Structure 1
Amino acid sequence: MLIRMTSEPELQDGVGEPDGFQRLWTPHRMAYIKGENKPTGPGQDEGCPFCGIPALSDEDGLVVARGERVYAVLNLYPYNGGHLMVVPYRHVADYTGLDDAETAELGALTKQAMTALRAASGAHGFNIGMNQGAAAGAGIAAHLHQHVVPRWGGDTNFMPIVGHTRVLPQLLADTRKMLAEAWPAA
């Protein structure tokens, strides 16, 4: 991941005047903007990343913890440092499609995620939720996932409000390791 700050704009073909603005270059976001690695359809075998992640090592898949029916994984495009998701292994789109055991474990892993995030990062609060369906804002609507976003007092400043940019001070691999080590024993 390359992040570079500069006080002058990149000059293309010798055109442009420095304007004094600081620029934070985050080219890794272009994959998200272009929809790279998004599922090609609603089915389990149609490119669903949440179905493929469990086959990867924890480090390669950014998996923080694994349960019997659900797992916790870091979000590739986090809103805040430590933003993770609790995801059922089974390819199911709607919360009402979970069985009782999956529902219970999703709740238990969410509680464990909060505990680990508080221990590892001193989170002051959380945004927890799921977007059900594309119309509700789900980026991957075909496979249910619950977001757990840690929050700190004053964590929203001018960057996301004015610049529509998030500044994350830690690489995902380092965040995964820190949270996996802080994850409470079941």
Structure 2
Amino acid sequence: MTQPPDSPYRPEELVRQGGVGAPDPFLRMWTPHRMAYIEGENKPTSTQAGSGCPFCRLPGLGDAEALIVHRAEAAYAVLNLYPYNPGHLMLVPYRHVADYTELTPAEVADIATLTQQAMAAVRAVSGAHGFNIGMNQGEIAGAGIAGHLHQHVVPRWSGDANFMPVIGQTKVLPQLLADTRELLAKNWSPEEERE
């Protein structure tokens, strides 16, 4: 395999680690900060409200600190701290409730309206070509925080890095969360303004 002269990859410089493994052509992108997520740091150990639930705690913080993009009456929009793609939002009812069937009509309406507003804001800021929208109900379905319902809005682009997490075990995020939050908050339009 021929490498460009300025390539940081030098197979001859790879060193075996105690005889384990063999040199290969892959670059390594070390992301030790993700160990907090993998090991469940700050993940509530109980499904009860106030038992360390981050979705109950976030509304008590300032928007920039909490990464909250917009607050409605019954729910709020917040950036995912561990995003799948840049601009990955979660829509969360203020009330600590685990199941979609337990939401009040006002909470359902706010989450639906926030979904529309989130899509419009992300398109305005980044030109997203599409979205994955959904929620995982219960731990068995993949909910990271099963005790407090939240809906994901994940922007997608043609040719985005969708292969990276699957094949490369790497997530590519070109923008800091604080910068993404500021852009989305500035471009968030309430439903009345869009009509």
TM-score by length of 1: 0.90
TM-superposition CA deviations, 1:124-178 (whole Å, max 9, x none) = 0000000000111101000000000000011135422311211110111111111
TM-superposition CA deviations, 1:99-133 (whole Å, max 9, x none) = 00111111001100000000001000000000000
Question: CA separation in 2, counterparts of 1:52 and 1:12?
Answer: 46
Shift of residue 13 of structure 1?
8.1
1:113 to 101, 113, 118: 118
2:3 corresponds in structure 1 to none
Residue identity over aligned pairs, in percent, reads 65
Look at both structures and tell me which one has the larger radius of gyration over its CA atoms. 2
2:174 corresponds in structure 1 to 169
Aligned length: 181
Assess, with a 3 A threshold, how the Cα gap between structure 1 residues 89 and 158 changes in structure 2: closer, same or farther.
Answer: closer
For structure 2, list consecutive stretches of 5 or more residues without a partner in the other structure.
1-7
Are 2:69 and 2:77, in contact at CA under 8 Å, matched by a contact in 1? yes
Question: CA separation in 1, counterparts of 2:18 and 2:127?
Answer: 47
- Opposite residue 53 of structure 2, the aligned amino acid is C
- Opposite residue 165 of structure 1, the aligned amino acid is T
Question: CA separation in 2, counterparts of 1:158 and 1:91?
Answer: 35
1:28 corresponds in structure 2 to 33
For structure 1, list consecutive stretches of 5 or more residues without a partner in the other structure.
1-5
Q: CA RMSD in A?
A: 2.1
1:141 aligns with 2:143: no
- Opposite residue 7 of structure 1, the aligned amino acid is Y
Question: CA separation in 2, counterparts of 1:71 and 1:51?
Answer: 11
1:74 aligns with 2:79: yes
Are 1:81 and 1:170, in contact at CA under 8 Å, matched by a contact in 2? yes
2:4 corresponds in structure 1 to none
